[in-house]
Each structure stands twice: as structure tokens, then as C-alpha cells.
Structure 1
Amino acid sequence: MAAASGDLTRSSDLRITELTAGNWPLFERLLGPGGLQGGCWCAWFRMTSGEFRTTGPDGHKAHVRDEVRAGKPLGLLGILDEEPVAWVAVSPRVDNPRLATSRVAALPDDDPTDVWSVTCFYVHRRARGRGLAAAMLRAATRHAFDRGARIVEGYPVDARKKRPAGDLYHGTIEMFAAAGFDLTARRDTVRALMRIPAR
């Protein structure tokens, strides 16, 4: 199916498009009034720990909204039947300051310029079980390469290890591997740094 104007891809009936100031209301609708995960609003990686702790949910939302209005890339929305059902956060690594202090995401010995990070997934409960997270990951990878990324990386969890459902927002090692990502480093027993280079 051909992509609609302004959309990145369609997977079956799923329409995937970049989050912009124009479609911000869809992001608000998907995350709901609480902004998920105690009011995160997908600001966790985009703020330092001190900033995140002191601003609270309203500040998290305002931070993300201001970045979207400034034209910064934050991620992609998945839409079914005109309703937002999925989200993947993908943006330049340098725009995610919390990664600089993450043991799992610590950089190999190379320049982080032109590295993009896939940090978060969310699929609404009404659309789960359809493989939408995998479709969002593929779209996020293409999007990053189209925007000049040299490498795309993620920090997924090992789904073979028993983890709370809330931890799966990183995605799974198996899903990243199926999308062509290679294991770069395994710094703990649960999560990994995985990367795919531009080809």
C-alpha cells in the first residue's frame, strides 16, 4: 500500500508518521491524561535525572511539547483507523542526555555524532498482539537513516528473563535482532546495547 502524503510507511492498515506540532494531539490522546509511567511523557531520556525529578509530569509534558514545536525529532506515531495506537521514540543520541550516564548505553569507542537512539515503545492495549512494535522499529530505523544517521542503536531487554511488563518499553533483544540489529555489548544480565549501521 502506498504511503500517504507526509507518512513514512504503511504496514497493513497501520499508518506510521513522524510526531510533529501538527499531530501533537494524537500523541496526547495515545499517552492519555497521565502521560504513562507516572507522567513520563517520554521525557525520561530527554532530560537529566535532576531535571526529570524536579519538573514533575506537567514539566515533562511541556519539555517534550516544546521540543516538538522547535522541530526536533522525537519519534513516530502508529495510527489505525485514524486512532493513535503505537509510539516509538527515535532521535539523535545527543538529544537524550540520560544516555550519557547509562551503564547499558555507554558508548563504544567511537564518535556519537550521527548515532540515533531507539529508546522507547508503547502499543495501546487494544492493538497489542499484532506485531506493531516490530513494525514501529523497522520504520524508526528507516526514518533515522533517511535523516542522516550513520548508526541506529537500542537498549532492549532479554525477553527470556522474567521481567515486569513495564520493563518491555525498551523492546526485546529478539525483536531488535529480527530487525537486523547486532549485539554490541551485554553489560548486565537483562539488557543489551544493539546497533545497526547504515548500508
Structure 2
Amino acid sequence: MTTMRVVPATAVMWPQLGRVFGPREKNPTSCWCQRFCQHDEPDNRSALQREVHEADLPVGLLAILDDDVVGWTRVVPRSTLPGITGNRALARILDDDPDAWWVSCFLVRREQRGSGIGVALLEAAVDWAAQHGASVLDGHPVDADRLAGTPSPSAIFTGTLAMFQRAGFAEIGRTYRTRPVMRRELMHP
């Protein structure tokens, strides 16, 4: 029987975290979930490693299936992501709520895609943000139904509209016809 759980990405988990990045694990300049961040590290892997090791509050969550890391998501206060707060298209839709959080990316190992791990990570992100005082959790997924053809995994790293809908998010606007901004209002535990 397989069991899946989602845990915070702590320093102890760093050695396993790289496995979710697959072949990119060996490439320190690939994204390593730095698309919306700014850093002074020599490469993106070093930047994420520093974040994971130094964060008072973990910056992401890991999906673990039978003791093997199979997924990752970054979920943090929106104010910590300059690529989000400085985006003019998003600024037209988002308010200045200092307690708003953002889920910026999802990465699921190839052999596990389509098995619900992304939705499990998103649902855990909702709980994580609520536990840490977030008023809302926002994201900017892709409306895959409006794309021509089948999107590549690298095109939907921010998640899909269907995934966010399954996790109870509502659309609050669009920056482009294929890019909804999704929000989940949170109640604190």
C-alpha cells in the first residue's frame, strides 16, 4: 500500500529535494524555483539551498510517496517574491494585502505526473499558509484548455486552472486569456 504525505522542505530534507528536479538536478543554473525571486548566489541551485537552510519558516513543501520525494511547491508570503509584486499585469488584479501568500510553482517527478500529487501539494499549501496567518493564497496557473495543443511540463510549472479549481480556488481576474489569477480565502486555524 502506497502512502503519500506532504511535509515542509527543511534543511534535513535538502538531499532528497534534488531528486524532484530530475535531470536538472545536475544543472545548477536551471530554474530551481527561482523564477520569481532575486538572489546574489552563483547559481539557482545554491540560492534555493541557501533559502532552505536559512529560512525560519520553510519556503516550500515536499510530497513524499513511500519515503521518496516526488513533488515540490513554493508557498510563501507574496511580499517576498519580487517577480510577483513587481509584475504590472498582476498589480492590476491584486490588492496590497500584507497577509496575502502566493503559491508560485509545482514540480512533480515525471513518473508521478497525473496522479494527483500537484493537487495534494496545493491543498497542503492552503493549510500551510492558513497555519501561518495568511489571509488568502493566490496563484497564477495556466488555463490549459485555452492553449493550442498539449502544453509541456515547463509551460505549466505554475499549475493548471483545473488543479486550482479542484482545490477550491476561485478566479479573480486574468493577465492573459490563458492566465487566470486564482484565490482561496483562508480561515485561520
| TM-score normalised by structure 1 residue count | 0.82
Cross-structure match for 2:98: 113
Cross-structure match for 1:101: 86
Cross-structure match for 2:129: 144
**1:37 CA displacement:** 10
CA distance in 2, matches of 1:37, 1:22: 20
Cross-structure match for 1:5: none
**1:92 CA displacement:** 0.8
The 5-angstrom pairing of residues 13-162 of structure 1 reads 13-32=3-22, 34-35=24-25, 39-47=30-38, 58-71=42-55, 72-106=57-91, 108=93, 110-162=95-147
Shift of the 59–37 alpha-carbon distance from structure 1 to 2, 3 Å rule, reads closer
**1:131 CA displacement:** 1.0
Q: Secondary structure at the match of 2:128?
A: helix
Q: Deviations over 1:49-105 (max 9, x none)?
A: xx58xx6xx521111211222224311001112111111111111111111232443
Give unpaired runs (5+ residues) of structure 2: none
Contact 2:28–2:44 at 8 Å: present in 1 too? Answer: no
Give unpaired runs (5+ residues) of structure 1: 1-11
Shift of the 104–17 alpha-carbon distance from structure 1 to 2, 3 Å rule, reads farther
Identical columns (%): 36
**1:22 CA displacement:** 1.1
Cross-structure match for 1:164: 151
Amino acid at match of 1:115: A
**1:109 CA displacement:** 6.1
Equivalenced residues, count: 181
CA distance in 1, matches of 2:59, 2:28: 18
Shift of the 104–110 alpha-carbon distance from structure 1 to 2, 3 Å rule, reads closer
Q: Secondary structure at the match of 1:16?
A: strand
How well do the aligned residues superpose, as a CA RMSD in angstroms?
Answer: 2.2
Q: Secondary structure at the match of 1:113?
A: coil
| TM-score normalised by structure 2 residue count | 0.86
Shift of the 79–107 alpha-carbon distance from structure 1 to 2, 3 Å rule, reads farther
